Amino acid sequence: MAKVLAISSHAVRGHVGLDATVPALQHLGHEVWPLPTVLVASRPGLGRLAKHELPPESLGAMLAALEADGCWTSLGAVLAGYFPSATAVYAVAQGIARIKAARPNLPVLIDPVVGDAGRLYVSQLTAEAIRDTLLPMATIATPNLFELSWLTGTDLRDPAQLVACARQLGPATVVVTSARQTASVVTTLLVGTDKPIEREMGKRANVPNGAGDLFAGLFLGHWLNGSTSEAILDASLADLDRVLAASAGRDVLALAALHQGEGS
């Protein structure tokens, strides 16, 4: 079991952000310290847009308090996802930099949540802050295809450029979700120190938001449990597909499906 500091959004209703990554990590046996960057009543598209951003100085103070309590010595990994502003990114980046100074080999997964479907859904300043400040500290990154394209300034309509672009991003391990899609198949690409690994998964229709957050938590959880990159990717995608299959047509992810088959 590892202790994981997880920093992202939290939705009261709708399993996105921390409400997807935390259950994934806990399912795989890890203790999670969740730090929300923003609180929303419901995930986007599900209900009224009511939100409260944690001020950057509050985020910094939370991290400083954990540091003063001597928590970094027991920390096993850091995961960072959604940020509502560039100033929030900078506040957290300073904290992660101090963690890495104390624990240079600590795994840091950055899920660069900046956009999808051809558009940014955070401000350009926020996206640039994630690119320039957080990604250089990452051990693992989990962008979708649009995010990889935007973060590297590369037109990825040519699939042959995907591997080189993933290596250009910087982290030692980059997992590109939805790297390619057809009407029936979604391809995930893992680019690390060895030969790139591709996996195809059947495309699930009418699934709710949060799959990317869930996958980031699953991948880090399996990574911390130790195995080959290929086995980690396969296990993460199997867990993800089980949840997506159970979630078709629902408003929120059916996270209880993570536990299907346990104890049988």
In this predicted model, what pLDDT tens digit does every residue of 137-156 receive, in sequence order? 999 999 999 999 999 999 88
Q: What b/e readout covers 114-127, taking b as 16+ CB neighbours within 10 angstroms?
A: bbbeeeeebeeebb
Q: Contact at 8 Å (CB) between 212 and 22?
A: no
Q: What b/e readout covers 177-194, taking b as 16+ CB neighbours within 10 angstroms?
A: bbbbeeeeebbbbbbbee
Domains, the chain, in order of start with CATH, read: 3-257 (3.40.1190.20)
The yes-or-no verdict on residue 264 having pLDDT over 50 is no
The predicted-structure confidence for 197-210, as pLDDT tens digits, reads as follows: 999 999 998 888 89
The yes-or-no verdict on residue 47 having pLDDT over 80 is no
- Global pTM value: 0.95
For 193, the token pair is 């120190």
- At which residue do the structure tokens 């300043």 appear? 125
Residue of 33, 90, 39, 37 lying closest to 67 (CA atoms): 33
Mean pLDDT of the chain: 94
User: Which of the residue ranges 14-18, 31-35, 55-59 would you say has the lowest mean pLDDT?
Assistant: 14-18
Name residues whose C-beta falls within 8 Å of residue 86's C-beta, 6 or more positions apart in sequence.
123, 125, 126, 128, 129
More confident residue, 82 or 12: 82
CA-based radius of gyration for the chain: 17
Write 65-74 long-range contacts (CB < 8 A, 24+): 66/5, 66/33, 67/95, 67/98, 67/99, 71/33, 72/98, 72/99, 72/102, 72/103, 73/102, 73/103, 74/3
d(CA 186, CA 60): 38
What average pLDDT does this structure show over 49-77?
Answer: 95
The yes-or-no verdict on residue 227 having pLDDT over 70 is yes
Q: How confident is the model at residue 79 (pLDDT cuts 50, 70, 90)?
A: very high
